[in-house]
Amino acid sequence: MGNLISPLVGKGHGRPLMLVGIGIALFITLMSIAAPFISPHDPTLIGFGPVDRAPSAQFPLGTDQYGRDLLSRTIWGGRFMLLVAVTAVLICMAVGLPIGLVSAYNGGNLDRTVALVMDSIYAFPSLVLAIIIISVFGVSIINESLAIAVVYIPTYFRVVRSQVLAIKEMPYVDAAKSVGASGPAILLKYILPNVISSIVVVGTVNFADSILTTAGLDFIGLGLPVTLPDWGIDLFYGRQLLPIGAWWTIFFSGLMILLAALGFSLISEGYAERMNPKLR
């Protein structure tokens, strides 16, 4: 556990990156959680304000073609994305981690088969896979989370597996076995702690990727039910106003998606850099 906390303190290279990332991520998370309290207006109210108005004192971020206040929509817009991302990451960890650990540790033909299947999925473009899953099963938070999770599980699997395979051969594991330690015990005591830091790195990247994929799905029209405030949906609609130069309809939502993805990516990079001296 010390492994998780130690990168946060102490000088070194990746720290500024990581802290900026944490800052951004925290900002967005808090904003999304506090949305009902800090949003000035109801983001779904159609015709609340004048249509297609540029940012002004009354509507700091402008209004969209339905007269909805964009500031409110921007504050509210992250909730579903974050929810989907959290769910997806949790599912990935819950599935990918055990499969990776057990399969790699036991080895043999089963491991090779599982690895082959995982590699095949891994090679597939994530968005395409998400698209076909969503198109077949329909749109809902759980479905989106599942689609993204399926796409990402192979990554967890691979990372965990490579670590396990490396550690499995280490002398101290043999030493533990020679004094009678059982398989699961070895997994838990020796392998898991080493794997955790990799998981953090993959998890945060996964999170960022999930946000981008969700936004992508929204943009295609496979997103969440369209009446709800969501950054991706804003881009989907705002696009229609581009030819007249109505930049505000897409800019702020797009910026928020970027920031959300950026925040978690920075955490991932910063953390990885702290743990890996070679990159300094």
Partner 1 sequence: MIMILLSIVFIIMRVLPGNPVLLRFEKNANPALIAAFTHQLGLDRPLYLQYFDYLWGLLHGDFGTSMAGSFEPVGPEILSRFPATLELTFYAFIVAVVVGVFLGAFGARKGGAPDEAVKVFGILIYAFPVFFLGMILQLVFGVWIHLLPVTGRLGAGIQPTGLSVGGVQYQTGIYTLDSLLSGNVTEFIDAVKHLILPATALGLVISGVFVRMTRANMMETMRSDFVTAARARGLKEKTVVYSYALRNAMLPIVTIMGLQFAILLSGAILTETEFSILGLGSYLVDRVNFRDYTAVQGAVVFLALLISSISLIVDILYAYLDPRVRL
Which residues form the interface with partner 1 (CB under 8 A)?
Answer: 17, 116-117, 119-128, 131-133, 135-137, 208, 212, 215-216, 219-222, 235, 239, 242-245, 247, 250-251, 254, 257-258, 261-262, 265-266, 269, 278-279
Is the Cβ–Cβ distance between 218 and 235 less than 8 Å? yes
The SS3 of residue 69 is strand
Closest CA relative to residue 217, chosen from 70, 88, 42: 88
What CA–CA distance (Å, rounded) separates 211 from 233?
13
Cα Dmax for the chain: 76
CB of 131: closest distance to partner 1 in angstroms? 6
Minimum Å distance from CB 219 to partner 1?
A: 5
If the CB atoms of residues 192 and 259 are measured against partner 1, the closer one turns out to be 259
**Paired tokens of 164:** 């396990």
Q: What is the nearest approach in angstroms of partner 1 to the Cβ of residue 25?
A: 12
Structure tokens at 20: 């900026």
CB of 226 to partner 1, least distance (A): 13
- For the bound state, the minimum distance from the C-beta of residue 136 to partner 1, rounded and expressed in Å, comes to 5
Helix (H) or strand (E) holding 173: helix 171-178
Q: Which is nearer to partner 1, 11 or 278 (CB)?
A: 278
End-to-end CA distance of the chain: 24
Q: Choose between 12 and 193: whose C-beta lies nearer to partner 1.
A: 12
In the complex with partner 1, the residue whose CB is nearer, 131 or 192, is 131
Q: Which two tokens stand for residue 267?
A: 């955490």
Residue 128 or 166 having the CB closest to partner 1: 128
In the complex, the smallest distance separating the C-beta of residue 243 from partner 1, rounded to whole angstroms, is 6
Residue with tokens 């015709």: 47
Name which of 46 and 255 has its Cβ closer to partner 1: 255
CA angle 192, 197, 201 (to 5 degrees): 130
Please count the other Cβ atoms lying within 10 Å of the Cβ belonging to residue 114: 19
